Structure 1
Amino acid sequence: MDRNDIVEHFIRVRDGLTLFAAEYPAAHRQADGNNPLPVVCLPGLSRNSRDFHGFAKAISSDREKPRRVIAVDYRGRGRSDWDPDPSRYQLSVEAGDVLEICGALDIDAAIFVGTSRGGLILHLLPGMAPGLSRANILNDIGPVIEIGGLLAIARYLNDEGRYASWRAAAMALKMLHGPAFPALQASDWDDMAQSLYREAEGIIIPDFDPALVAPLLELSAETPLADLWPLFDRLRDQPLMVIRGETSSLLSQKTVSDMAQHHPGLHALTVPGQGHAPLLHLPGVIEPIADFLATLA
């Protein structure tokens, strides 16, 4: 994974933890001096900033309108500190971290991209920092979460293994997720392994605090989930794109249709051959996103 030209930020937040953010500077400035809004990328539950590497490189080097891109590691993931108090692994705390990171990087307005849990954080930001998010892209997440998909995530995160090589890690990912991602090639599984895992003493291990999984293990098929429609409606006045994997177990097509009823200007994209959550840098996905971004300031 080529990570040249990335600016690394380590930001100390209110409770003393140090969090990591990767910055991809825009390839060039606009000739008229009006630089476009930056893009802030928020990953899924156990994911990290590396999940957006290919996407961030594409957006920051766009020929017509390159944008500064920031990708965040939440607490307990990637290169950010693990929290000694696991009760703080919750959406409101992580949303607060996002606000502190934006403040430290002089971002007072941005376009946000949220994958899965990152999209749930996007539902909170308008109430916490009005005006910060000027447009949003929700990647395989919405105001209704399918409990079956959530339980599946809990199962496979709880069973995450340790691997003797990067190739073994990539093959394990393909064995687990391959049926939902027939569009992926061998190199995509290798990239996914590099995003999800890290090497420690010669062993390839998951790159997140295992304490993150504990709340999910308390769920059952009968667990009532929160009604997020009131939060979703706060996004109604902003440009919004929702991306759904064709085989997603977390976001249904019905929910996307209902989202369009709440947000008449919604841009909806279904990604063939991908499940939860689509890889944004692949052909057929990055182009529609770039087209959406081109319509924004």
Structure 2
Amino acid sequence: MSLNETVETDLNVHHFEFTATDGLNLRGEIFGERLSKNLPVFCLPGLTRNAKDFHPLAERLARDPDNPRLVLILNSRGRGTSDYDSNSANYDILTEANDALHALAAAGLEEAIFIGTSRGGLLTMAIAALRPGVIAGAVLNDIGPVINAQGLARIKTYLSKAKPVTSWDDAITYIKEANFGMFPALSEEQWQAFAHMTFKEENGKPVRDFDIAIAKAIDAVDLSQPLPDAWPQFLAMSHAPVLVLRGEKSDILARETAKAMTKRHPDCKLIEIEGQGHAPMFLVDSLNEQIAQELAKMDKKHAQRLARAEPESDHS
């Protein structure tokens, strides 16, 4: 299995497509050069999000003057340009984690730094439990092994009450009304970008860029019962450095959980993002710069791990 790639722009951005094990066609984008000596990055978006969320960060990482790197972004099944699944039961963590592993293999990558936003971070932790060796480092964007039920209830309400929009002005207004409490500091230009990251255009009108059947997976969660935690999956990444991004106003990743992650993991750093909630967006240059710096540190740690793993030469 391999990726089918097509080049779109002079930024060396490629669109890719591959077939999942059940026959569904999945797609995404690749930024940067394969010949980069730095660790590649594999980005996994949130529950109803898509590859567009990562474009500003991907461009920053691919064009880094000191540490340019290959960036692979996957649209999970039912999101963005990937095919929708006729069986909504397949919108589950294990299926999507295996899709991501197949994407990585199809791209010919043995390991990568995973950047997972919300649901994408849950997929990253699941992958760590399934195949820890593919994770050379991880960035968990506003997600951890314990999910705040209050935030999940907000997302359920957001999805269940979503109404069709008829124009881009409507789309921007809808995005503001649904998310202003999480992102009070966004500029008008950033709200417009947020809308275009959430909707796609069909017949001159914006439509949601995900399969509404994904909401069924959230509807099935019984919030009257304690949510299961994922500490074993998180700790399956103990061999690699982890960066946790937490939105200052997040209602999904509690500050106490984020701090506990840094204590339980041997190499975990927490950065709290001011003025953002769930989940911090890569529309802010300063955040992308911080991530680029942390990934460069992960490169060095990875090189050191490889050096320690090499057998000593026999000089006898």
Scaled by the length of structure 2, the TM-score of the pair is 0.88
* 2:47 matches 1:40: no
Q: 1:101 aligns with which of 100, 103, 124?
A: 103
Distance 1:187 1:230 in 2: 41
Distance 1:155 1:201 in 2: 28
Q: Please tell me whether the aligned partners of residues 60 and 69 of structure 1 are also in contact (alpha carbons under 8 angstroms).
A: yes
Gaps of 5+ in 2: 1-7, 300-316
SS at match of 2:226: coil
SS at match of 1:248: coil
- Post-superposition Cα deviations, 1:222-261, rounded to whole Å, max 9, x if no partner, equal 1321121111111122100000000001001000111111
Q: Please tell me whether the aligned partners of residues 111 and 136 of structure 2 are also in contact (alpha carbons under 8 angstroms).
A: yes
Q: Please tell me whether the aligned partners of residues 48 and 195 of structure 1 are also in contact (alpha carbons under 8 angstroms).
A: yes
Structure-1 residue corresponding to 2:17: 10
Bigger CA radius of gyration: 2
Per the TM alignment, residue 114 of structure 1 is displaced from its structure 2 partner at its CA by: 0.2
Q: Please tell me whether the aligned partners of residues 132 and 236 of structure 2 are also in contact (alpha carbons under 8 angstroms).
A: no
Structure-1 residue corresponding to 2:294: 292
* 2:75 matches 1:73: yes
Partner amino acid, structure 1, of 2:31? Y
Q: Please tell me whether the aligned partners of residues 114 and 137 of structure 2 are also in contact (alpha carbons under 8 angstroms).
A: yes
Q: Please tell me whether the aligned partners of residues 142 and 280 of structure 2 are also in contact (alpha carbons under 8 angstroms).
A: yes
- Post-superposition Cα deviations, 1:32-62, rounded to whole Å, max 9, x if no partner, equal xxx1111000000000111101110111101
* 2:117 matches 1:110: no
Partner amino acid, structure 2, of 1:289? I
Structure-1 residue corresponding to 2:209: 207
* 2:232 matches 1:225: no
Structure-2 residue corresponding to 1:90: 92
- Post-superposition Cα deviations, 1:176-195, rounded to whole Å, max 9, x if no partner, equal 21122112111111111111
Q: Please tell me whether the aligned partners of residues 18 and 25 of structure 2 are also in contact (alpha carbons under 8 angstroms).
A: yes
Distance 1:43 1:179 in 2: 21
- Post-superposition Cα deviations, 1:183-215, rounded to whole Å, max 9, x if no partner, equal 211111111111111122333111111110012
* 2:127 matches 1:125: yes
Structure-1 residue corresponding to 2:147: 145
Partner amino acid, structure 2, of 1:15? D
Greater than 3 Å deviation, 4+ residue runs: 218-221
SS at match of 1:179: coil
Per the TM alignment, residue 220 of structure 1 is displaced from its structure 2 partner at its CA by: 4.3
SS at match of 1:131: helix
Distance 1:153 1:260, change over 3 A: same
Structure-1 residue corresponding to 2:251: 249
Distance 2:56 2:262 in 1: 28
Partner amino acid, structure 2, of 1:195? M
Per the TM alignment, residue 281 of structure 1 is displaced from its structure 2 partner at its CA by: 4.1
Distance 1:37 1:13 in 2: 25
Alignment root-mean-square deviation, CA = 1.5
Structure-1 residue corresponding to 2:31: 24
Higher mean C-alpha displacement, 37-46 vs 218-227? 218-227
Q: Please tell me whether the aligned partners of residues 77 and 85 of structure 2 are also in contact (alpha carbons under 8 angstroms).
A: yes
Distance 1:79 1:60 in 2: 22
SS at match of 1:285: helix
- Post-superposition Cα deviations, 1:57-88, rounded to whole Å, max 9, x if no partner, equal 11110110011001110111111111111111
Distance 2:258 2:159 in 1: 26
Per the TM alignment, residue 157 of structure 1 is displaced from its structure 2 partner at its CA by: 1.6
Q: 1:168 aligns with which of 143, 167, 170?
A: 170
Distance 1:219 1:128 in 2: 23
Distance 2:132 2:235 in 1: 14
Distance 1:130 1:227 in 2: 19
Scaled by the length of structure 1, the TM-score of the pair is 0.94
Structure-2 residue corresponding to 1:178: 180
- Post-superposition Cα deviations, 1:116-152, rounded to whole Å, max 9, x if no partner, equal 0000011111232231110000000000100110011
SS at match of 2:15: strand
- Percent of aligned pairs with the same amino acid: 36
Distance 2:174 2:261 in 1: 35
Q: Please tell me whether the aligned partners of residues 77 and 84 of structure 2 are also in contact (alpha carbons under 8 angstroms).
A: yes
* 2:261 matches 1:259: yes
